[in-house]
């Protein structure tokens, strides 16, 4: 399969470390790639966050940094406009580095261990309503909308699959025609976060769209290309291009909001929970390690119920 190779990607990352940058960071990135099998996307994020640390340290050895230094660095990031969620991710990368340094006897302690990021404002994930989802996916392919077959046949199959099975962007982009991570027997098998594999049912609408795309794919895909979704040149379609194609698709269909792949995943979870009320089942289908992550969709469900109440209850309506 043409899967991204974490180790070769790590090697590419390490070549970008210029003179004066920490060899500990380079060694840690190599460890993440070779031992932890981190994805290229994860490695790129870690490299960016660890370079922030080195820049803030201003030439000081990483092993000499204290908890007070890490708190001061965090405050500087916050004052510089970095969002709380991004600071939390950055701190997580720093903790991982120092944890590894301690295990390698290159540092005496983990100064980032007890440092907490600023509190982020609570925001609910944005989901489309069932009617908006239907308008997005059910609109007939039409030349007046700028249709360019077979690309639009491919796009419909991708977006139906996003919504049908609640896939993450990387999961959909990594699908193959056959093998471990593919669609077969009405199910899709994907490699999720932390290398965890899960199987999710595929709905009839998505299966129909996939069948149509597969007939068109024959003329597009390069010889021996394993990717399910391919680009104009016949190679695997990138995650970035999938985002752009979905935004284009939504704009052409008059969507009032910016639609991105994770919004379709949120819509899948919200609509499924509204219909079934089975939080555990939604957790399994989404591949969440913790039920607490899935519980955010109960708030979306309550928002839906509150809107129904406001529209229908005689004492809720304004006179």
- The catalytic residue positions are 168, 193, 262, 265, 288, 297
One DSSP character per residue, 206-253 reads HHHHHHHHHHHHTTTSPTT--BSSB-TTSSBPPHHHHHHHHHHHHHHT
Q: Which residues contact 270 (CB under 8 A, 6 or more apart)?
A: 127, 297, 300, 301, 304
- Nearest Cα residue to 111 out of 54, 76, 52, 66: 66
């Amino acid at each position: 399969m043409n899967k991204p190779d974490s180790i070769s990607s790590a090697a590419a990352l390490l070549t970008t470390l210029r003179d004066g940058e920490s060899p500990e960071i380079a060694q840690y990135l190599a460890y993440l790639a070779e031992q932890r099998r981190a994805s290229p996307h994860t490695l790129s994020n870690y490299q960016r966050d660890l370079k922030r640390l080195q820049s803030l340290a201003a030439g000081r050895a990483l092993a000499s940094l204290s908890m007070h230094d890490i708190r001061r660095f965090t405050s500087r990031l916050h004052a510089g406009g970095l969002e709380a969620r991004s600071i939390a991710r950055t701190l997580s990368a720093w903790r991982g580095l120092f944890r590894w340094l301690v295990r390698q006897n290159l540092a005496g302690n983990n100064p980032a261990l007890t440092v907490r990021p600023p509190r982020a404002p609570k925001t609910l994930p944005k989901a489309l309503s069932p009617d908006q989802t239907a308008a997005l996916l059910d609109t007939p392919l039409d030349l007046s909308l700028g249709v360019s077959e077979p690309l639009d046949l491919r796009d419909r199959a991708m977006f139906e699959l996003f919504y049908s099975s609640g896939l993450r962007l990387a999961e959909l982009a990594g699908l193959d025609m056959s093998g471990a991570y593919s669609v077969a027997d009405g199910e899709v098998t994907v490699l999720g976060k932390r290398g965890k594999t899960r199987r999710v049912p595929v709905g009839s609408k998505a299966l129909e769209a996939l069948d149509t795309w597969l007939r068109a794919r024959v003329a597009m895909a390069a010889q021996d290309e394993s990717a399910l979704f391919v680009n104009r040149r016949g190679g695997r379609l990138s995650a970035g291009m999938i985002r752009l194609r979905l935004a284009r698709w939504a704009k052409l269909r008059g969507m009032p909001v910016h639609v991105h792949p994770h919004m379709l995943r949120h819509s899948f979870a919200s609509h499924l929970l509204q219909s079934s009320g089975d939080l555990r089942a939604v957790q399994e289908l989404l591949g969440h390690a913790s039920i607490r992550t899935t519980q955010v969709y109960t708030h979306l469900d309550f928002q839906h119920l509150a809107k129904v109440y406001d529209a229908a209850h005689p004492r809720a309506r304004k006179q």
